[in-house]
Amino acid sequence: MNNPVDIPFWLLALLVILAAIAVLDRLLLPSVRWYLRRRLNKVVERLNDRLQLHIQPFKLTRRKVMIDRLINDPAVMEAVIEHAHTEEIPEEIARNTAERYAREIVPSFSASTYFGFAIRASRFISNAFYRVRLGFMDDDALRNVDPDSTVVFVMNHRSNMDYVLVTFLVAERSALSYAVGEWARVWPLQQLIRAMGAYFIRRKSRNPLYRRVLARYVQLATQGGVTQAIFPEGGLSRDGTLGEPKLGLLSYILGDFDPETSRDVVFIPVGLNYDRVLEDRVLTSPSGDGKRRFRFQPLVFAGFALKQIWLRMTGRFYRFGYACVSFGEPVSLKKFIASENTGDPQSITANLGETLIGKIAKVVPVLPVSLVSKVLLDADTPLPMLEIKARCNRHWQELASRDIYSHVPRADEDYAVEVGLRMLTLRHMAQEKDGLYSVDPANRSLVAYYANAIAHHFQ
């Protein structure tokens, strides 16, 4: 019984490895998980002490648990059965499809990633490219938002910098969960964006099963009090104008909302504007078939980033003007529904979309490039500098009389006009001849893009 047993060395090594794995799995890993979870809870507690809108437990739910909860939701299970009957496939296959959709949608929020990396990165990137300014903001109204309500920031969509800029500016108030389009589903952005709490959506999908899974996730997140940020326009503005509201996400939020029992949902309108949009020429240039598209291209992005780094290293880099964000009057969903005279859910959703777009439009800030672009486009003939300043001055007075925010650098209107003209001429969007300024015909659509950002203020 005590006789030695000879075994091959490879088998001994395999047994040692398996024993080590067993020890890690049963003894060490649970302790490590408990330790890390305990540290995470302490971090979240400290964050909630300083954030106006707390990080809700729903947002901290493990991703695997959230996926299981989502695919086992009664509404999703019903949609799985309907999909199986419609497509004439086994229910197990339909369930696997629903699970694939859930894995695609559900984020994996990391407080350390969001507050340790994302906030710092968004602050650095925003200030590296722009002179960031906070426009109109009613502090009292924002402070009086019920902390137990679900807050949804609704924004106009000018640039993919919107995500970065707003994340930076609301860092002291909350952690945002964005609805992100297909452009971000590329490595390594996908993993980073998911860790920041964003959820991916297929904007043009008409698949009923996919839409049901997405709707239930949005509804569960809203019920759980997750602070969200959505773009009612759906996608980037191609011509600079504020588009009509797409009602998909709003209809999901309203679809499961009961004014009597549900926690209130408070929409906060956000208006953004830039002196220069990074993607402006891509957005305003039609493709060969006449359709305009924007797709994230990693190589193009890398080339742009390297060029900016090189310009900075050689001392030739200049920031892209001003970027300004304004926050409008909050809209309580319970109060909005109570004020509606119709009980039709579709009418309520449509009216809510129009109301939110109108409130966003009101707080879109007026920046130098946009205003100078409008003045040059409205002119029938080239204008001297003094006439451009006079026309801009009249517009500023008119806007101020209607409580529309304009950012005037250094509180100097003459300087603001010079800033706008300098940006336009440096980018060959405006031309100067014999002291007279006019729109460069080759870039007229680009000038119109910037003028359209504030066109609704003059209608």
Contact 119, 196 (CB under 8 A): no
pLDDT in tens, 329-339: 999 999 999 99
pLDDT digit string, tens, across residues 141-195: 888 888 889 999 999 999 989 988 998 888 777 888 888 876 666 665 677 777 7
Closest CA to 353 of 179, 232, 188: 232
The letter for the amino acid at 106 is: V
Query: Is the confidence at residue 292, as pLDDT, over 60?
Result: no
At 30, the pLDDT band (50, 70, 90 cuts) reads low
Residue 93 has pLDDT above 80, yes or no: yes
pLDDT of residue 288: 45
Q: What radius of gyration, in Å, describes the C-alpha atoms of the chain?
A: 26
Higher-pLDDT residue of 347, 188: 347
Q: CB-based contacts of 223: which residues, under 8 Å, 6+ apart?
A: 58, 150, 256, 262, 263
**Does residue 318 or residue 209 have the better pLDDT?**
209
Residue labelled with tokens 């250094």: 410
Task: Give the mean model confidence (pLDDT) for residues 383-388.
Answer: 96
Residue 121's pLDDT is 87
**More confident of the two residues 302 and 369:** 369
Percent above pLDDT 90 for the chain: 54
The predicted structure's pLDDT at residue 117: 82
Q: 285 pLDDT band (50/70/90 cuts)? A: confident
Encoding tokens for residue 44? 């979240």
Confirm if 349 and 250 have CB atoms less than 8 A apart.
yes
**Cα separation of 236 and 157, whole Å?**
5
Indicate whether 41 pLDDT > 60. no
Q: Strand, helix or coil at 391? A: helix
* Stretch among 251-265, 302-316, 411-425 having the lowest mean pLDDT: 302-316
Mean pLDDT of 396-403: 95
In this prediction, residue 289 has a pLDDT band, given cuts at 50, 70 and 90, of very low
Least confident interval from 125-134, 142-151, 428-437: 142-151
Work out the average pLDDT over 240-248.
Answer: 91
Mean pLDDT lowest among 291-300, 357-366, 389-398, 433-442: 291-300
- 3-class DSSP assignment, residue 439: strand
pLDDT band at 205 (very low <50, low <70, confident <90, very high): confident
Q: In sequence order, what DSSP letters do the residues of 27-95 get, joined into one string?
A: IIHHHHHHHHHHHHHHHHHHHHHH-SS---HHHHS-HHHHHHHHHTSHHHHHHHHHHHHHHT--HHHHH
Model's pTM, two decimal places?
A: 0.85
The pLDDT of residue 297: 61
Provide the pLDDT for residue 290: 46
Dihedral angle, C-alpha 9, 10, 13, 14, nearest 10 °:
-140
Cα–Cα distance, 182 to 204 (Å, whole number) = 10
Percentage with pLDDT > 70 across the chain? 85
Assess whether pLDDT exceeds 90 at residue 367: yes
As to burial, measured by CB atoms within 10 angstroms (0-12 exposed, 13-18 middle, 19+ buried), residue 63 is middle
Longest CA–CA separation in the chain, Å? 108
Please give the Cα distance from 399 to 272 (Å, whole number): 17
Q: Which residues contact 263 (CB under 8 A, 6 or more apart)?
A: 148, 149, 150, 223, 225
Mean pLDDT of 89-98: 94
What value does the mean pLDDT of the chain take?
85
Which pLDDT band holds residue 66 (cuts at 50, 70, 90)?
very high
